[in-house]
Structure formats: structure tokens, C-alpha cells
Structure 1
């Protein structure tokens, strides 16, 4: 009988220890407002999750002692010790820290779950896992509808990103609410922001028109970057990574923490170098970031400067089909200094003031200085091509310069009360830029010509003023409305001649009205629906005027319908979009003299698609994060000008717009400090031209990367040591993700053969170690 009693006691003990209980709770701010998306972690386990729309969470645990940690951007992290022996409910009330004020830097251009637009948020922690030297477009390539590429093939140097088939000239980028896109070309040159991911606190990608933003209009997406937050404690970081193609990154960061509870100084120095996958397509990036901050309970003043110097070797014309077949890594350019050499420095000043519980204001000022050139060797050239500075048949070396200044002033005010969130603001920018080319060597210069004489020159001025007001208003407990009205006024002037010795004399003014409206319906604590309409207008860029002085501005009507699910085990975002364009400036497939894609107006075109992304917990250690975008992208009644014969060839596919873009992350995290992820990307076939010609079709491709992260907590010298590894293209796929063709502008039989491709790297690796202290 005694043995039976002992057995029953042991059985009961085992049963009790195996029994599962529900640990649930709520997370609110100091005003008892629910915090959606707060991170809840059960320390020393892999358990945890995010709070739902009511600020609530739930996790299943065996009985025992646990430490529960709750964090939310802009609030102090808190922890509680829990002794779990029954179903338990705990409440957390978070107190704001200085980063609440920092969120005001981007609040005017960002969306939240109450705003009926389609968006994705990426945190510093997510960027950190793969931040080994590759540029931001490559770090974002697994997000929905994103297709990334690089000239040199290894993701370092000149990199590119398309979202919903729209290229960089249609993707609005802001840094702390300040426009980053180049005012004239409208592109974003990430090569000038070397290692900027190391100074990024978080970023948001809005697909479609999105909310009103500063700078040029978003026609495919917008990316809003918030730089490093003020650190409460002193810290330092040394990061080094190495990999294939002699790729290396060296980064040093520091923060003084808050001195006298108010002042913080922080900074970063970085150097990234890579030989590139393509032969001699090297990249040398030097960059810095420095900020000084003052904070108190209601004030944040932040002075920031960042910038970099880049030098990259010529790889922006790709390879012909024959060269690709011979040797996909070859580089046909042989002149030693066939390089792009550019320096860009930004100066920002931000002053955020919380006037009371309802009102806050933000003032942002910016000055950007950019100057640089690309150098080329030219053989056996005609004098006319260089404004008669040489003798016919001469060889020469030229530098084509861009020297510009960009000023921005933003101001916004935010009023919040229960059921109302109202933001209004203005933005003004002024750009001046000089374009010129100089002969720095010639085998046979014309009489009275000196070295560094200019063979072309044009200046440019552009002003951009916008005013907006947007509000989210709760109509009922479940239904809220969104209204966003923006007026934008653009003036652009340029005079002189282009590098083709053709006059460019532009004097244009544009007045745009961009309304946006929508509804969000919260069906229950976990499900919400949204519907929205947005109107956008966008002016042509400099290259468009060079091709056609009568180019028209673009118009877009964007319709979005979405569903968001936020459950314990699954987070799901899905949406249907219809983007209807008038006079869209589509890429023709051909390149201009600086490697940029040429564009032209088409009267009627559209993009129709569905996007789905999810975060699924299969087990407490295994996560699945798939996304897929299915779309059809069409031009109606495409007019082809071939050999001076005008033909309507009917409905065709828009170039560079694959119908299928899918990604997935299979994540295994056996313990809190170690994670291994298999990241996969599929991009369907696409056309390099708008003619649906088989010769211009780019084949689909599927690639995968393997990412390993291990963080070792230490008790002396360093706070932690982070080990990171990345095997890119783990299955060694030979693929091409981008190219060019002149089929849209065929003017003779030889033009058909002028087609190029950008080969991407086969299997390669990067490894890094970050010391945090």
C-alpha cells in the first residue's frame, strides 16, 4: 500500500508539472489606451507574442516560475515575475520614454492599423539579422511585392528595388520625414547611404499611394525610415563581417547615453568594400552618422548629420546575351578609372514638442550637399559629340559632373483625443543643380582647348511646396473613417545643353490635388477590414524632358481592399488593389547615357493584384512567414513607333512587372539566443519591353538564402556577442533578375540585337561578429 501511495504521489506530481495553464494579460499606456503590437516575451523560453487590437495577449505554459517582459516602441520595457499554478491574468501599464517623441518625426507620413492603407513594418532587430554589408534594397527583398537587384551582382554598390512593378522613380523615400529621392531624377541612390541599416531604428513600407508624404508622390510605394532612437544608457558596438568576393564591412557605433538625464551624443563610422560578383565591379563605401539630442518630458531636439562617399566601377550596362553565355562574370570595360565617384552629406535638425496630452508639433529642417562625377574613356569620337573641343577621330577621357544643393523645411502638428487623430502639415523644398561635362584628357584637342574645359553645361532649379491635412475619426466603436487631403505645387526650370549637346530649356509649373479617403471596420478583437481610395499626381523627371519636352505628368487612382488578422498563432495581412493610371511614364526598357531607364507616357494602363503575407507559429520553436503577390499589369492600346511606323499593337504587359512575386521565411528558434532561417524568393517571368516580344522575356527564378544568428550573453567586458552568418543563393542558381532592351524604340535592324542582362551572384557567403558593450 505504501508503494502504491508513493506511485500515486509521483504520478500526481508529474501530472501537475505537465499541466498547462493560460497566462494572459493586457498592455496599456498611461492613459489606459490599448497598445496594439506590444511584444510579450517569456524570458529563457521561446514563448511570447504580440498584443492584439485590444492590447491583450495569451500564452500557454506549464506551472512554474517565469519572468514576463513587455516592450513597445516609445515606452520603457517592464518585467514581472510570475508564479504560475493556475490560469492567471496580469496587467501592464507602460510609461513613455523619449522615443515617443521620436515617433513624431515620422508620424506625419506613417500609417497605423487604424489607417486604411497597405503597409509593412520592419524593426531594427529584423534588419540586424542580415546586416552584413548589403544595401537596404537587398535587406528588404523578402518583403511583399519587392524585387531587388544589383549591378555588381552581390548586393553591394548600386542596388535597385521595384515594388508592385514600380521602379525607384516611383517609390517615395523619406528619412525622418525628410524627402530623400533626388529632386530631378526622382530616384533613390542607396549607394550614397552605405551601411544605413546600422543607423535605422525602424522603417515602414507603404504599398500603393499610401498616406500623404513629403517630396515626390508615391506611385508604387513609399519607404519611411526612422533613424536611431536616443539611448538611455551608454553603449558601444564594434561590428565586422567578411565574405565572398572580398566583401567586408567594418562598423563602429557609440552612444554616451543620457548625460544629466537630457543630452545624448551618438555616432557611427562604417567602411564597406566588395570586389563584386562581376569582374572588377568593385564598390568602396565610406559613411558616417552623428546625432546630438536633448530630451525632457515634453521636448526632443535632435541634430543629425550623415553621409558618405562612394566609388564604384562600371557595371551599369550589364552583359549582352553572347557575353553572358561566354562568361557571366566578365566585365567588358577595361579603362582603369571607369568609375562613379560621388559624395553626399545630409544635415537635419528636428524639434518635437509635446504641448499637452492632446497636441504635439514637429519642425524639421534639412540641407543636403551632393557632388561627384563618373569618368569614361571614349575612343575614336567625332568632334560634334563633344562640342568641338576635340579633333574628329580623337580618343579622350571625360568626367560628367553633378553638383547640387537641396534644402527642406517641414512642419506638422498632431491633435489626439479619444476617437480623433488629426495631423496637418506643410513641406517646402528647394533644389539647385549643375550638370556639366569636362574633358580631362584628349589625344588630339582642338585649338584653344584646355584640359577640363566643359563640353556641356545646364543648371536646374526645382521648388516643391505641399500642404496636407489628415484625420482618423471613430464613427462608432467598430467603424472609423480616414480623410487625407494634400495640395502640392511644383516648379521646375532648367537651361543649357545636355551631354548629347541638345538644348534643354524647361519651365514648368504643376498644381496637384491628392485626396485620399477610406474606412476601417474592426469586426472583433482579431479581425479588421479596410477599404480606401487615393488619387496621386506626379511630375516628369529630368530624363523625361531630355527625351520629350512635351512629356505629360502622371495621374493615378488607387483602390485598396484589405483584411488584417491578428491572432495568437497567426498574423495575416491580405489586400486587393487596383491601380488605374493616366499617362503613366512606363519604362521603355532602354538605357540613357548614365545607365538610367528611359520612360515614356502611355495613355491608359493599370495594375490589378492581390497580396497576402502571414506570420504563422507552427510550434513554439518553428515559424513560417510566407508572402505572395499575384498581379496583372497591362497597357491598353500600346502605340509602337518602329522604323518611323506607328502601330497600335493592343493590350500588352507593362515591362518589369512580373505577375507572381512570392517569398517565405522558415524560421527555427530552438532557444531564445539562436535562430536559423531559410529565406526563399520566387519572381515570375517578366518582359524587358512593353511589346510582349519573346526576345525580351526574362525567365522566372527561385533563390534561397540561409541565415544563422546566435547571441552570446557575457558577464564581463561585453554585454553580448552576436554571431551572424548568411549563405546567399544556397542552391547555387544562375539567374538574371534585370536587363534592358531597345525593342520599344527599334529604329533599324541592328537595334534588335542591343539587349543586355545583369547576372546575379551564385552561391556566396557573409559572416559577421558584433561586439556590444
Structure 2
């Protein structure tokens, strides 16, 4: 099938050419720092020929011999025009200079003014950290995960949470990549901060539909995050000091214009205030997180560049010496970019990532610890072949070795609990892909491709068979061998038809398989949630998603409007039996139920890009449901993340050259939740019983956040500073975080509900600096 697919693409790429074609290629960089520019546009003035740079700043443009004027452009940078006489293929590298005034730039934007209308890619959004600096967030920290929750089709995981849901999928169905390395549980302090220090991030790409063939492994979305490379021109530093956390970034050349470094660190200091307590248990407690980003790059020659990057983050919570809980991510990526010729670009990556958590409990009669780890080793090879301005082929493969050490319990000899060791599970994921981006006419463009995935369940370990009630009825021990193959074909398709110069219609379809599964029975992901890989009992999740949309720009691209409808069908979804035991359970798979899911909805998006007032309005009308034979008599029921309405309004206003104001208003329907339908008494204690799964709703959620940024007039061009003042939940709305039930103290035999609100109004202030 791969041979046939490649043959078809080779025929499509063979476009009749009546004039000698030459190739103009090169790399575009930031003129002040040397950073490569992702998605910068290289266009021929007065013509239709144009292309954009890839994730490493490389472009390739095929043109007939002749004289041309090129326009090189990128959001937030001065457009550069160059006159060339193209009589042979040549390399043209260029540096673009940032504009002096960033305030009038779009907040969340594609890299070309009308790219949202013209591109075949559907369901994708791209932005940089500079573009979200005035969006108000919790505690005044710039946070890309909380910013994407304000976009259509993306929902917050809960009050203050960095977790998110995309188009009705679960939080574990989002693939989060940092310089190509997978990040698990991408949040600090149980979700109140994301793991990503914004100072270290260069570019963010979110795919929620029409997912390109080079990505796989998650069925809902891909969040592709690129770290800063480091300043190749001069040493620079920036950071900020806030009420909760402070951060610092250092960067500079190792060899000017040839190699550079970047290192960025962040830490909270809430634990330092605990030291002020007179209570010995409290002042010996821990409550902090830190993270570290680092990157090196070295330009070997005009055709070869080497990158080494890494991330390490850790949370540490604890109460005296009685309880401690820590978790964290670590990643490392080594990448080699090679330009084979003017049309063929290659990237080779070696990737390591892991996630661990440890819980320790110590008391007079209880002394035990629980530990779990996920570890990945990944080899990726990607190629891009720029056949001509109308045809680009991408192909490659990756080999992923994944091991999961489930939560095991290690108890002291004197403890009143027994140690439990659970087998480590392993798998090898082999994948290959090919895709073709083709523009057969000025109005029609298409991206289509195929990904082939073969997941191999590996030993050693003991695997169990279960009856329909989840009881183990047999077991089989395996050695270091392949136990089972799961082979899946994943077609991808996205197309755009230009109705006129300002509007288009688009359609997309993709199928994706997922072999890593997160087991959680809470509304938002916790570090202690269990992960399992596909096994003899757990089949890969599979999602088929189709979407169609209308896109329109107004007033010379000053306003963008889009409406998209989608439908997603999901197989092999996972839920739990009532009373499931998820921790330190050798027969965990017997606690699982398997069913299907569906999600569908409409997404509206209106954005203003320029002027003193800019921002966007997004609204999503959606439904997300699940169906299991053993739950609710096999009827459809709402998924926990099901929300009928989700509205976000974001605005930024340039009050003066010194002051910029920001505001965000959010409203959404409350999550689906299971409440008790009645109660009974056992030994004098009230016990609740439950019937309908997720048959009730939390109260509607709404909140207003405000911010003001003060930037003094620059007297010293090398040193810049600003103050950001913020108010989270400005009108002090007491949104429900938990609703629970208890016996009434005043009315016998009556039950009352009580609500816990997590945050009221929270002011913040942060001083930012850069030199």
C-alpha cells in the first residue's frame, strides 16, 4: 500500500513545466537574535508564487528564470523586499527586523494575513508568547495552556486548571510536544500553572482537526511547542518577579552567528512563607515547584545544524514528615537538520521523556510509599520535499519504545498494609507516514496523507483473562517477546476551496489510533492518575473525525470570521466499574469497561487583528457522549467534559504608549456530574446510592479577569521593563469547584448539598525586565 501511495504522489508531483525552473531556498532568522522564524512568508510581489518557512526556518520556492521582487514577511517584523535575478538555483538566507511597536499586532494569529482563508489546513491555530502577553490569567503568569482554553473547541479542565479538552475528547487524548518530546501531566500545583515557562517558548501550534500525518498517538489534538533557540548575536537576559513565582532567562552566542545557548528557570516560593509559622509541622512542610528549560544549537555549515534541548520540572508538596508527594517531567531532544539539496530537507531526532510521581505516608502504624513512572525512547526521521510552489511532499517514520511502571506499593515491615508490586508494561510503536500538500489551481488546495501504525505489546509480564464481571479466570506469563500486534491505517485529508479573494469553504477528515490510556475518575487530571498501554484486554482507542467550515476575512484582513462543524466517533473508550480500585492493583484491567463515544458541535470565531482595540470572541455549541453496555442499561450518557455552551470574549486596548488594558470574560455550562439519587442506612451511617451516570450538572460557570500593563518610555534601549497588574475573578463570583452531600444537622433524615468554591477575587502584580 505504501508503494502504491508513493507512486500516486510521484505522478501528482510531476507537473508539466514549459520553462526552465530554478529553486530559491534558504533560512529566515530574527535579525536581532538569530532565532529561526517559523511560518514566515516568502512571496513574489505581483504574482501567486509564495511559500512559508517550516519549523526550522527553511523555505524552498521554485520559479522560472527571470527578475523578481521578493517580499519576506512575518507577524511583528518589518517586511523586507529584495530584487533578484534568478538565472540558476541559489541559496538566499535573510534576517528580518522586529517592528518597534508590538501592541497593534494580532493576539493569536496565523503568520500570513489571509492564511486562515487560503490554506488547506483546517482546525489549526498558531501563536507566539509575545502575542498573548496582555491576556489576563491566574496569578499574573503568562500561560499558554490557559490561553488556548479561550479558543473555540477547547475547554478548560476546571477552575484555574491548566488541563484542557478538545472537541469532546478527554485530557489524555491531547498530544503535548515540547521540542518533539512528549510531556505528560503538563501542569504544576495540581493544575494551577502549566509546565511551560513562557519566556522559553518561541512558537505554539494547536491542531484540533485535520491533524497532519506526521502526528499520531492521540485522538483529539496535537499541541506542538517549540523552544527558543537562543540569541546568536549578543548576550541577553529577561525575567519577572511576581507574588507567587519568579523567573529568569539567559541566552547568548557561544560562537557569534554560529552557535548559541538558552537557559530559563522558574520557581515558586510559597514554601518560604510556611517557614514563618510558629507551628513546627507547618514550617517543616513543602509547597513549591520549579522548572528548567535549556537549549544549545550549533550551525555546522550551511547545510547542517545540530540542536540539543531539554526540560526538567518538579512539584514537591508535603506536610511535616507525615506526608510527601512529588512528581515531575523530564525530556531531552537531540536534532540534526540537514539540507540535502534545494528541494529536500531532513530532520533526525533522538528523544527521551519520562514522568514520575512518588507518594510517601509515615505515621505510627502506617509507613508506605507509592511510585509510578512512564519512560519513552523515540527515534524520528522526517523529510520534506518541495517539488514546486504547488506541491510539497512530507514523509518519514518513527520508532517509539515505551515502558510504564504502574503504581506499586512498598510498605515498611511494621506497617499495617502489605507491599504490592505490579508488573512493568512495555510496548513498541512503529509508524510511517507520507502526505502531499497540493494546489492544483488558484482556488483549490488539498493536503492528503496516510499514516501506518503498528503497536507491539511486549513482555515480560503476567497477563490475565477476565470474565464479564471483571473477575480473573486465567493468567499467562510471557517472556521478553512480542505478545500481540495492533496494526492501524490512519488516512488524513484536508481541502480548501476559495469562493473569492476573502472567503473559502474547507473540509477535513482524519482517523487516529491511540495506544496510551489514562485512567482517571476526576474531572481534571491528577499526577496520580494511572496510565496503561494497549494490551491483550485493552485495545487501541480509534477516532474518526470529519469537519466542514466557512472562513471569511473583512476590511483588508482586519477581521477574521469562521464557523466550523465537526463530528467525532470514538471506539474502545474506557470507563470504570463502580467502586474500582485503581492504585497498586495487579488486576487493574478487570476494573475497566470498554465502550464507544461521540462528540459533535459548532464553533464560531470572530477576531479583530489591528488597531488600538483587538481580540476575539469564540463560542462553541457542543455535545460529548459515551455508551457502555454495563452503564445506564447501555444508553448514551454525557461525558464528564460535556458542555453545551462555551463562550470566551478577549479584548486588549492600547490606552496610550505606556498603558495597555486587557479583559477576558468566560461563560460555560457546568460539567456533567453524578450525584446520588437516594440513600440508605448501614450500622447507623448514611450511605448514598447512585443510578444515572453523569445525569446531573454543576452550576453554570462565569468569570471576568482584568489586567493593565505599564511600559515606561524606553530611555535605555538595552534595558526594558514593565509592570503587569491583574485581577482574577474581578466580581468575586464563587464558582462551584466541588458539590458534595451530607446529613442535615437541623432536619432529621434530610440530606443537604454543600458547595466548595476554590477562588474568589485574586489580585496580582508582576515586574518584568529584559536587557
Deviation at 1:472, TM superposition (A): 1.1
The 3 A distance-change label for structure 1 pair 521 and 532 is same
* Residue 449 of structure 1: aligned partner: none
Q: Does 1:766 align with 2:764?
A: yes
* Residue 685 of structure 2: aligned partner: none
State which of 293, 302, 305 in structure 2 corresponds to 1:300. Answer: 305
The 3 A distance-change label for structure 1 pair 621 and 493 is same
Q: Does 1:344 align with 2:329?
A: yes
* Residue 532 of structure 1: aligned partner: 508
State which of 401, 408, 420 in structure 1 corresponds to 2:391. Answer: 420
Question: Helix, strand or coil: the match of 1:425?
Answer: strand
CA deviation digits over 1:27-65, x for unaligned, max 9?
744797766999xxxxxxxxxxxxxxxxxxxxxxxxxxx
**CA distance in 2: counterparts of 1:267 and 1:138, whole angstroms:** 23
**CA distance in 1: counterparts of 2:538 and 2:168, whole angstroms:** 21
CA deviation digits over 1:581-636, x for unaligned, max 9?
2333358898865699999555443211111112136x832224100110122346
Deviation at 1:755, TM superposition (A): 11
Deviation at 1:553, TM superposition (A): 2.9
**CA distance in 2: counterparts of 1:739 and 1:549, whole angstroms:** 38
The 3 A distance-change label for structure 1 pair 540 and 407 is closer
* Residue 486 of structure 2: aligned partner: 510
The 3 A distance-change label for structure 1 pair 430 and 122 is same
State which of 120, 138, 146 in structure 1 corresponds to 2:154. Answer: 146
Alignment of 1:335-414 (within 5 A): 337-376=322-361, 395-414=365-384
Alpha carbons 1:214, 1:466 under 8 Å: kept = no
CA deviation digits over 1:99-135, x for unaligned, max 9?
9xxxxxxx9xxx9862342122121213444584475
**Structure 2: which 5+ runs fail to align?**
1-39, 54-70, 82-91, 98-110, 465-469, 520-530, 676-690, 742-750
The 3 A distance-change label for structure 1 pair 695 and 611 is closer
State which of 247, 251, 271 in structure 1 corresponds to 2:247. Answer: 251
**Structure 1: which 5+ runs fail to align?**
1-25, 39-68, 81-93, 100-106, 182-186, 314-333, 379-393, 447-452, 642-646, 742-752
Alpha carbons 1:557, 1:579 under 8 Å: kept = yes
**Bigger shift: 510-519 or 352-361?**
352-361
TM-score, normalising length: structure 1: 0.70
Alpha carbons 2:561, 2:606 under 8 Å: kept = yes
Alpha carbons 1:706, 1:728 under 8 Å: kept = yes
CA deviation digits over 1:560-590, x for unaligned, max 9?
1012223333112221101122333358898
* Residue 272 of structure 1: aligned partner: 268
Q: Does 1:464 align with 2:429?
A: yes
The 3 A distance-change label for structure 1 pair 312 and 163 is farther
**CA distance in 2: counterparts of 1:562 and 1:695, whole angstroms:** 32
**CA distance in 2: counterparts of 1:595 and 1:531, whole angstroms:** 45
Deviation at 1:335, TM superposition (A): 7.4
Alpha carbons 2:534, 2:540 under 8 Å: kept = no
Alpha carbons 1:145, 1:611 under 8 Å: kept = yes
Deviation at 1:407, TM superposition (A): 1.0
Deviation at 1:718, TM superposition (A): 4.2
**CA distance in 1: counterparts of 2:132 and 2:600, whole angstroms:** 30
**CA distance in 2: counterparts of 1:763 and 1:472, whole angstroms:** 49
Q: Does 1:125 align with 2:116?
A: no
**CA distance in 1: counterparts of 2:271 and 2:164, whole angstroms:** 21
The 3 A distance-change label for structure 1 pair 475 and 287 is same
Alpha carbons 1:434, 1:458 under 8 Å: kept = yes
State which of 403, 408, 412 in structure 2 corresponds to 1:432. Answer: 403
The 3 A distance-change label for structure 1 pair 188 and 491 is farther
The 3 A distance-change label for structure 1 pair 649 and 466 is closer
Alpha carbons 1:555, 1:582 under 8 Å: kept = yes
State which of 590, 594, 606 in structure 1 corresponds to 2:598. Answer: 606
Q: CA RMSD in A?
A: 4.4
* Residue 162 of structure 1: aligned partner: 165
**CA distance in 2: counterparts of 1:701 and 1:620, whole angstroms:** 31
**CA distance in 1: counterparts of 2:721 and 2:226, whole angstroms:** 25
* Residue 289 of structure 1: aligned partner: 293
**CA distance in 2: counterparts of 1:504 and 1:76, whole angstroms:** 62
Deviation at 1:345, TM superposition (A): 2.6
* Residue 221 of structure 1: aligned partner: 221
**CA distance in 1: counterparts of 2:205 and 2:153, whole angstroms:** 14
TM-score, normalising length: structure 2: 0.70
State which of 573, 577, 586 in structure 2 corresponds to 1:584. Answer: 573
Q: How many residues align?
A: 619
The 3 A distance-change label for structure 1 pair 442 and 717 is farther
**CA distance in 1: counterparts of 2:402 and 2:204, whole angstroms:** 26
**CA distance in 2: counterparts of 1:458 and 1:755, whole angstroms:** 42
Q: Does 1:260 align with 2:256?
A: yes
State which of 599, 607, 627 in structure 2 corresponds to 1:615. Answer: 607
* Residue 560 of structure 1: aligned partner: 547
**CA distance in 2: counterparts of 1:509 and 1:738, whole angstroms:** 42
**CA distance in 1: counterparts of 2:731 and 2:177, whole angstroms:** 36
Alpha carbons 1:344, 1:368 under 8 Å: kept = yes
Question: Helix, strand or coil: the match of 1:671?
Answer: coil
* Residue 198 of structure 1: aligned partner: 199
CA deviation digits over 1:535-576, x for unaligned, max 9?
222236375869996343323221110122233331122211
Deviation at 1:650, TM superposition (A): 3.0
Alpha carbons 1:739, 1:756 under 8 Å: kept = yes
